[in-house]
Amino acid sequence: MRIINDEIFVFFQTKLSNHQLALSDLLALLALKDEVSKHMAIIGMAPNFQDNRLGLTPVSAAGLDQMVEMLVPELNGLGIYLHDVHR
C-alpha cells in the first residue's frame, strides 16, 4: 500500500496518556507549525490479522519484498540510492 501527500490524513486522536503518540498526531503537529514536507509517502501493509505475539505471519513476511520494491523507487525519486542491499 502506498499513500502520498493529500491522501495522508492528518488529525489528532483521543489519547488515554501523553505517551500514546501516533503518526497522525505527529503529522497534525507539523501542520499546526506549518512545517509539512512538500512530499510525504507512507509505504506499508495492512495486517493479515492482529494477534498478541511477536514476529510476522507468513503472509506478512512474504509482503516485505513487495514493500521494499515500492520503497526503493520512492527513495530514488528523492535522490537517495541504495547500493548492494543484503538481507
How large is the greatest C-alpha to C-alpha distance in the chain, in angstroms? 44
C-alpha cell at 56: 510476522
- Rounded CA separation 6/41 (Å): 10
pLDDT digits (tens, 9 = 90+) for 26-82: 888 888 898 988 888 888 888 777 777 788 888 888 889 899 899 999 999 889 888
Q: Name the pLDDT band for 7 (thresholds 50, 70, 90).
A: confident
Q: What is the pLDDT of residue 18?
A: 63
Q: What is the pLDDT of residue 53?
A: 78
Q: How far apart are CA 61 and CA 80, in angstroms?
A: 25
pTM as predicted:
0.58
Q: Which triple of cell numbers denotes residue 5?
A: 501527500
CA distance 34 to 54: 38
